[in-house]
Amino acid sequence: MVRAVCLLVALVAWPVAAAAQPASSAEGSQRDAPPATRQEILQRQREAKRAELAPYAVSDAEARVGRLETFRLPRRIFAKGFGGFRPVVGGMPSGSGFVFGGGYIAGFNHELVQFTANARYSTRGFRSFDTGIIFPAPASRLPVQAHVKAEVRDLTSLRFFGLGPQSSASGRSTYGLEDQSLEAGVTATATRFVELGAVARWMNAEVGPGTAGASLEERFDPLLTPGFGTTTDFLVYGGHLTLHLRDAHVIPSAGVSLRVEASRYDDRDSGLYDFTRLVGDVQTQIPLGYRNRILALRVRSSNSVGENGGAVPFYLMETIGGANSIRGFREYRFRGGRNLVVNAEYRWEVWTYVDFALFYDAGKVFSDAGDLDFQDMQSGYGFGIRGHAPGGMVLRFDFARSNEGFKLHIGGGAVVLTKETGGRRQEAGEAGRPRRQPFTCRMGTS
């Protein structure tokens, strides 16, 4: 009986084993057979490459470059400092020469209050000291920010060429300005596109002879130069509205920025120098595609009008000429109660951290509001080089020419952002005072 059962099982299993053996042989032969389609060829190539993959090894040179960019050396030195102490470069009016000094900052990162104190000296003998508090600190990202600032300056030899559009380069002279100021202000970001601000400032200004070259009173009549030889206390108050119609996701940002400022200057002593100033500033950046090519345009106009028979002091008048307006002329070359400046600059990236630029500047000063047009404008043109470093350091060379000769402007400094996430650059300078910038010096021929 047992023998019969075993025989029966063998008879049933034999066909199954016989059928399975050819199938296994067929699968093996199929794997070993050459691919029949292009898809199979690509699949086998991907599998072979996957088997050969190895983790990417960073070279020593790449690692050093990566550490340098992460360290952000210029920002750490000039903005954050070491233990709060940092060197200071720039921060005086355009034309001061090379400016250097030292400062202290507390609350740079995420603290509620940021405190700064700086002392500066320039190669032209200018001196300044300032201290201030910002709350909350810029890195806090809060929509409302207030500040208090005190400053003392001794500017021994600011340039003066006369008043109006007909002034001559041969009338170059200098004057001295000593001033002290105490300022308080608040800025609020109302929406993503709208910024509002208000400021109040007390300022004491003493104006006298210059210490370099011919002094102002040696070439011009002081009686026809309002404000020379006087000491005046001003109460200044006003506000601004800024519209940022830019696409923050495009680098460099594309779009338009519009800013309107209004300021009232009250002469607290005699009332002889009461005036109101209105400023309009429109800037636009147009990306032109490959390698950060960009066309930057700017139009700015200022209108200062004396009230109740008052005059605008010459040292508070708007000027054109220098690195911030028409680069083909010296700083403060033309001076008047009203001005108009137009700038056009085409920039393109040549290498990483290096840009070239072609620019054209035009502008004029005038006294009658009816002359606000594009007629009879002074102009200059030239070529520029922009150097950028990881962390925000900028170095700028501008080679410019006008009908008064060739000028070379060298400027730069650490770029400070109002937001840790890449906000707008803090603008150097303010209406009604000689414009400040990180640093600048000029060389040229006339």
Residue whose structure tokens are 């500017």 = 155
Q: Which of 77-86, 245-254, 349-358, 436-445 has the largest mean confidence?
A: 349-358
- b/e string for 325-352 if b means 16 or more Cβ within 10 A? bbbbbbbbbbbbbbbbbbbebbbbbeee
Out of 127-141, 199-213, 313-327, which region has the weakest mean confidence (pLDDT)? 127-141
Arithmetic mean of pLDDT, 182-187: 98
**What's the pLDDT score for residue 433?**
45
β-strands 275-287, 294-306 pairing: antiparallel
Nearest CA among 131, 75, 133, 126 for reference residue 98 = 126
Total of domains in the chain? 1
Residue whose structure tokens are 């009686």 = 223
> 5: which strand partners?
none
Return the C-alpha torsion angle 427, 433, 436, 441, nearest 10: 140
361 located within any domain: yes
Arithmetic mean of pLDDT, 409-432: 47
254 located within any domain: yes
**What's the pLDDT score for residue 439?**
45
Out of 177-186, 195-204, 435-444, which region has the weakest mean confidence (pLDDT)? 435-444
pLDDT band for position 229 (cuts 50, 70, 90)? very high
Distance between CA atoms of residues 436 and 126, nearest Å = 13
32 located within any domain: no
Q: What percentage of the chain has pLDDT greater than the value 70?
A: 75
Q: Rounded to two decimals, what is the model's pTM?
A: 0.75
**What's the pLDDT score for residue 431?**
35
- For residue 143, give the 3-state DSSP assignment: coil
- For residue 329, give the 3-state DSSP assignment: coil
Distance between CA atoms of residues 434 and 440, nearest Å = 13
pLDDT by residue (tens digit) across 45-61? 778 777 776 666 666 76
pLDDT by residue (tens digit) across 336-372? 999 999 999 999 988 878 999 999 999 999 999 889 9
- For residue 307, give the 3-state DSSP assignment: coil
Does residue 410 or residue 393 have the better pLDDT? 410
The H or E element containing residue 380 is: strand 378-388
Instruction: List Cβ neighbours of 272 (8 Å cut-off, separation of 6 or more).
Output: 226, 310, 311
pLDDT by residue (tens digit) across 366-389? 999 889 999 999 999 999 998 876
- ∠401-286-378 over CA atoms, to 5°? 25
Which range of residues forms the domain containing residue 182? 63-445
pLDDT band for position 97 (cuts 50, 70, 90)? confident
- For residue 39, give the 3-state DSSP assignment: helix
pLDDT by residue (tens digit) across 124-178? 999 999 999 999 887 777 899 999 999 999 999 999 999 999 999 999 999 999 9
Arithmetic mean of pLDDT, 391-397: 73
**What's the pLDDT score for residue 394?**
76
- ∠338-342-344 over CA atoms, to 5°? 165
Arithmetic mean of pLDDT, 75-97: 81
24 located within any domain: no
Out of 3-12, 87-96, 244-253, which region has the weakest mean confidence (pLDDT)? 3-12
238 located within any domain: yes
**What's the pLDDT score for residue 48?**
79
320 located within any domain: yes
**What's the pLDDT score for residue 82?**
83
* Number of Cβ atoms within 10 Å of the Cβ of 83: 8
**What's the pLDDT score for residue 98?**
85
pLDDT by residue (tens digit) across 246-303? 775 555 567 899 999 999 999 998 889 999 999 999 999 988 876 578 999 999 999 9
- b/e string for 398-431 if b means 16 or more Cβ within 10 A? bbbbbebeebebebbbbbbbbeeeeeeeeebeeb
Nearest CA among 206, 446, 432 for reference residue 333 = 446
- Strand residues in 161-274 grouped as ranges (E): 173-189, 194-209, 231-247, 254-267
144 located within any domain: yes
- Asked whether the predicted pLDDT for residue 435 surpasses 60, the reply is no
CATH assignment of the domain containing 374? 2.40.160.50
**What's the pLDDT score for residue 423?**
39
131 located within any domain: yes
Quick one: 2 exposed, middle or buried, by C-beta within 10 A (0-12, 13-18, 19+)?
exposed
